[in-house]
Amino acid sequence: MLLSYFICSILIGSFLFINRNKSLNYILIVAFVILQSGFTVYSCFQYNQTELLYFTFDSLGIIMLVTASLITIPAAYHSFVYIETSVEKTNKSRAVYFGALVFLITAVSGAYLANHIAVVWFFTEITTLSASALIYHHRNKLALEGTWKYIFICAISITLVFIGILFLSLSNYGNEDLSFKSLLEHVKSMNYEWLRMAFLFIFTGFTAKLGLFPMFTAGVDAKDKAPGPAAGLLSSIIMAMGFTAIFRTYILVVNSPIASWANTVIGIAALISIFISTVYMIKVKNIKRMMAYSSVEHMGIVMLGIAAGGIGYYASILHIVLHSLVKSSLFFQYNQLYEVYKTKNIYQIGNYFKYNPTGAIVILLAFISVTAMPPSGLFVSEFLIFRSLFESNNMLVLIVVLVLLSFIIWSFAKNVFKMLFIPVVEFDESQVKPINPMRSLSQFILLATAAYLGLNPPAIFVDLINSSISVLPH
């Protein structure tokens, strides 16, 4: 079934690329969404099976796959609305956009399920290619700049990951199998100096996808320039892919003597990321960049949970899932915001409640969710991460992070409340078209799912997360 999933997706993507007929394109996209959902349902019944030698339906993969498929459905819908309401639509740009979308989601699904580090690497490269086609959608100067930066930094990062894989094979000399299971079995007999270098390079390389210091800059520019639904996907499922890759490498490292060194490295990178995102969020005036830096901050919090350990492992995976749902809903709402105001500048957006009350409620609820205030599900996961920092005797780190988060909440609140309530000067109301409130339905569903999963998670969800962290030392 996995092979047929890949073949069908590649066929659908290729047909989307070469075919310029509008209705056929939409039929193909609907077919892909059905294929993706069907494949996800199938994979839930294949727990811990291995298919095609390199793909295992383990618990982490299933959690991420279900989240990604949940987000795919509104992403396809909002892409359809976006393409149809945009001014400069051509048949070619629509075809390229949807084709790249299909390839992106397929590659991400493959990366979640891969059990061999080289296969993860390969699918990450495919996501770079498809994401750059999405970012370049508008084909103007700024989009070109964003795409070039994204491609260049991701190419260097992929090369760094490859070097890490080479060092990993050196540390595991004599055993040719680089699948995660085999590496975990041999971790006691590895050469730890090479493992150190391997982890350093692999971690640095995948931070381009995860959105952490040092390679987060590509992602921020990319989310700024990509169309809203594409930016939502970049901000949710791609970051989850970076997390999955780093997490699977971390499982190896934490079962070896270099565990505390690795935790220090991850902790430093996470702390610097939160600090940088604080600085930029206070300064930034472009709403999409603000949301992009907020993603960087959340990834910093997730990696702090990983570095701290204990309950932090559980909380990090929970946080990634919830953050994907919430951040994508924000980006999906962004397109309606842009339709009303035709600008991304926060100073020129205001009194959103008047023009689109449903959308304004979405932004308000999403703000409460993203800043992790109760009753948002993210409150639970962030609270558990703070608890893990406290329990692992990192009080200073905890205090610094709490102070920085206060700054972030303040600047986020300042901007969001300005957008929602304070009318902007010199705004021409006659140009505003009424927006169908049904377009906000998907975001309500995503936010409600995030709250439900955080506050009252179903037992199967908890069990899946617990089994994916079972190999980590508690």
Partner 1 sequence: MIDVILLIFLMSLFYLSIANRLATYIKVLSVQGILLFIVAFYELKDINLLNLIFILLETIVFKAVAVPLFLKQVLERNKITREAEPYVPNFVSLLITTAIIVITIIISNNMEDVHLDKMFFVVALSTLFCGLYLIASRRKIITHVMGYVLIENGVFVLSLAVGSEMPMLVNLGIMLDIFASVLLLGVFLNKIGDVFKDVDVSNLTNLKDD
Taking CB under 8 A as the rule, does residue 223 contact partner 1?
A: no
CA 123 to chain centre: 15
- Closest approach of partner 1 to the CB of residue 118, in Å: 6
Which of 36, 106, 169, 371 touches partner 1 by CB under 8 A?
169
- Closest approach of partner 1 to the CB of residue 339, in Å: 22
Taking CB under 8 A as the rule, does residue 137 contact partner 1?
A: no
Residues 50-79 within binding reach of partner 1 (CB under 8 A): none
- Closest approach of partner 1 to the CB of residue 335, in Å: 20
Which of 20, 92, 181, 283 touches partner 1 by CB under 8 A?
283
Residues 6+ apart with CB under 8 A from 97: 79, 83, 133, 134, 137, 227, 230
The closest of 389, 370, 298 to 331, measured between CA atoms, is 370
- Whether residue 437 is preceded by a cis peptide bond, meaning omega within 30 degrees of 0, is no
Which range in 136-144, 254-262, 336-344, 439-447 contacts partner 1 by CB under 8 A?
A: 136-144
The closest of 236, 213, 15, 41 to 127, measured between CA atoms, is 236
Amino acid in position 211 = G
Which range in 15-23, 45-53, 220-228, 371-379 contacts partner 1 by CB under 8 A?
A: 220-228
State which residue, 166 or 184, has the beta carbon closest to partner 1: 166
Which of 163, 272, 413, 432 touches partner 1 by CB under 8 A?
163
State which residue, 132 or 207, has the beta carbon closest to partner 1: 132
Are 206 and 161 in contact by the 8 Å Cβ rule? The answer is yes
Which of 8, 129, 259, 445 touches partner 1 by CB under 8 A?
129
Which of 58, 221, 297, 382 touches partner 1 by CB under 8 A?
221
By rule CB under 8 A, what string of x and - marks binding of each residue 189-208 to partner 1? --x-xx--------------
The closest of 160, 251, 253 to 208, measured between CA atoms, is 160
Taking CB under 8 A as the rule, does residue 3 contact partner 1?
A: no
Which range in 44-52, 169-177, 387-395, 432-440 contacts partner 1 by CB under 8 A?
A: 169-177
> In the structure encoding, which two tokens stand for residue 245, read together?
């890759």
State which residue, 145 or 185, has the beta carbon closest to partner 1: 145
Taking CB under 8 A as the rule, does residue 265 contact partner 1?
A: no
Residues 6+ apart with CB under 8 A from 183: 117, 168, 172, 177, 252
State which residue, 197 or 401, has the beta carbon closest to partner 1: 197
The closest of 320, 329, 423 to 381, measured between CA atoms, is 320
CA 16 to chain centre: 24
Give the binding-site size for partner 1 (rule: CB under 8 A).
Answer: 41
Phi-psi region of 45 (alpha: psi -120 to 50; beta: other; left: phi over 0): alpha
* Residues 421, 415: Cα–Cα separation, whole Å: 10
Are 398 and 388 in contact by the 8 Å Cβ rule? The answer is no
CA angle 240, 234, 336 (to 5 degrees): 125
By rule CB under 8 A, what string of x and - marks binding of each residue 284-323 to partner 1? xxx--x----------------------------------
Overall residue count recorded for the chain in this entry: 474
State which residue, 223 or 439, has the beta carbon closest to partner 1: 223
Taking CB under 8 A as the rule, does residue 122 contact partner 1?
A: yes
- Closest approach of partner 1 to the CB of residue 120, in Å: 12
Which range in 40-48, 163-171, 394-402, 440-448 contacts partner 1 by CB under 8 A?
A: 163-171
Taking CB under 8 A as the rule, does residue 124 contact partner 1?
A: no
Long-range contacts of range 89-94, CB-CB < 8 Å, 24 or more positions apart? 91/20, 91/21, 91/22, 92/20, 93/137, 93/139, 94/22, 94/25
Residue 385's alpha-carbon distances to 138, 253, 306, 310, 402, in angstroms, are 39, 21, 9, 9, 11
By rule CB under 8 A, what string of x and - marks binding of each residue 225-264 to partner 1? x---------------------------------------
Taking CB under 8 A as the rule, does residue 347 contact partner 1?
A: no
Interface residues toward partner 1, by CB under 8 A: 118, 121-122, 125, 128-129, 132, 141-142, 144-149, 151-152, 155-156, 158-159, 162-163, 165-166, 169-170, 173, 176, 191, 193-194, 221, 224-225, 280, 283-286, 289
